[in-house]
Structure 1
């Protein structure tokens, strides 16, 4: 399943190997000024061009030889759809499409290519030195030692038809709206270290963690001796630190304050991502579940 998260990814090592002829070429984005670009795509010009270059490289191998649109225009349609959940008239006209045209195929193709690059730039610290460096930075940030990152569910709203309430009942989350949910781990700078387990919105955090790859790796002590910070939806365990439910002394109060400080980084990261990308998940869910 592909969704907005992979848009944050970039493939720097492949861009370095790109032919020089690709740089400086005219682009469909050139006709928009910087303000219009951000309104249409919620991204800056350098970021958009970076994504377009990365996708163009991968599309040489991943896409059919004959596409309906040039790669840049496909990227333009997809990024616009990610940002707003619908295709805007200005972008459709620039791509030579009509308002009645459905961009699902274009969005699906680009999403598949971008999602296929995720392992290049979403990476958990695998060596002891890397884990230690992350933990030291987090300790400096909030005061809690030996923490590798923040663990949390990321809910993405889906549009459920009122005529299909039974089919989408499992998608209703604890907040009362329909969603799909992924398990995300980030560091104290908001860098995403792990994304996995796209589940129906009604899935509990602990259930996702217990069945996730990272959960099993931590249980097997593959990343010891470190912790992850988790909210109230998780159980206190050997590798997940949750807040003290009823703090009884100053030490416990200070711990909860430090815990809340680092946990807030994840909330800020997710809020920023959701504001930037408003992609409707409905058609992806129909294909997946």
Structure 2
């Protein structure tokens, strides 16, 4: 069973190393934010953040991770803020009492590894004929188009890339069509928002068609390995179907 798109956004961070983790029963540190502030700081709703924190807490208990000076909620807060903005905001660092960026990197890396280890729980492409038919039937009821497996779209994740630290051509390759530096992944969701596929990260300037043609799911569907089904994607500002 797959889960909605926001759960998987955190996975796109590059894993930098290993760190400590915690399982702490402290009050939720997200309670100090109202809903508007939550979305501004983390680009997620309160129920989604609660789901992510609970999933990570259970995973850490199961894995028997070593103690950390931060509670699980605090670790999740730091990581989600970094994922949302490409850098840890001073407001979150001060709230958590962190003055050393090295510790922040370790915490973000630890949370990233935990979520990456739950890939199979959050991403599931229908493998059987009946499962694909069920997904396509739901989509047809919404859009009226038969044999649609899902929606294909790029997901951009902001990163810190500096023109002063990279060669000019390297820096420009990270700048996307929206004008900021990012890495981009190809994501397929069904009509309920469940993740069916998440493919490799590319530099932000990579074209959608180029990602599709080089992707595993793209090659599988071009070779009819999933039957007479298609995904719908928006390419070059026009609605198009990719078979």
- TM-score bracket for the superposition, by shorter chain length: 0.7 to 0.9
Q: Which runs of 5+ in 2 are unaligned?
A: 1-5, 12-22
> Normalization by structure 2: what TM-score?
0.73
Indicate the residue corresponding to 1:258 in structure 2. Answer: none
Residue in structure 1 matched with residue 16 of structure 2 by the alignment: none
Instruction: Say if 2:227 is the partner of 1:240.
Output: no
- TM-score, normalised relative to structure 1: 0.63
Match status 1:105 vs 2:115: no
Structure 1: how far apart are the matches of 2:199 and 2:215? 7
Q: CA deviation at 1:184?
A: 1.1
Q: Deviations over 1:184-208 (max 9, x none)?
A: 1122333332111211123232322
User: Matched residues in 2 for 1:92 and 1:146: separation?
Assistant: 48
From 173, 194, 207, the equivalent of 2:210 is 207
Contact 1:34 1:44 in 2 (8 A): no
Root-mean-square deviation (CA), in Å?
3.5
Give the Å deviation of 1:223. Answer: 0.9
Count of residue pairs brought into register by the alignment: 222
Q: Is the 8 A contact 2:188 2:195 kept in 1?
A: yes
- In the other structure, the counterpart of 1:56 is 57
Secondary structure class of the residue paired with 2:157: strand
Paired position in structure 2 for 1:69: 70
Counterpart selection for 1:186 from 180, 185, 189:
189
Q: CA deviation at 1:226?
A: 1.0
1:132-171 mapped onto 2 (5 Å cutoff): 132-163=133-164, 164=166, 165-171=168-174
Query: Are 1:138 and 1:144, in contact at CA under 8 Å, matched by a contact in 2?
Result: yes
1:223 maps to which residue?
Answer: 226
Could you report, residue by residue, the CA deviation over 1:216-261 in whole angstroms, capped at 9, with x for unpaired residues? 2213322111111233359xx9x825xxxxxxxxxxxxxxxxxxxx
1:174 to 1:63, Cα distance in 2 relative to 1, 3 A: farther
Matched residue SS, 1:168: helix
Cα-to-partner distance string for 1:50-98 (whole Å, 9 max, x where unaligned): 3222112222465752434333321222223334444455543443323
Kept in 1, the 8 Å contact 2:151–2:233? The answer is yes
Q: Which runs of 5+ in 1 are unaligned?
A: 10-21, 242-289
2:126 alignment counterpart: 125
Residue 280 of structure 1 corresponds to none
Q: 1: CA distance between counterparts of 2:45 and 2:207?
A: 36
CA contact (8 A) 2:176 2:182 kept: yes
Q: Which has the higher helix share?
A: 1
1:6-30 deviations in Å (ceiling 9; x for gaps): 2579xxxxxxxxxxxx99x442427
Cα distance in 1 for residues equivalent to 2:64 and 2:9: 18
C-alpha separation between the residues in 1 aligned to 2:192 and 2:154?
18
C-alpha deviation, 1:101, in angstroms:
3.8
CA distance in 1 between partners of 2:172 and 2:91 (Å):
37
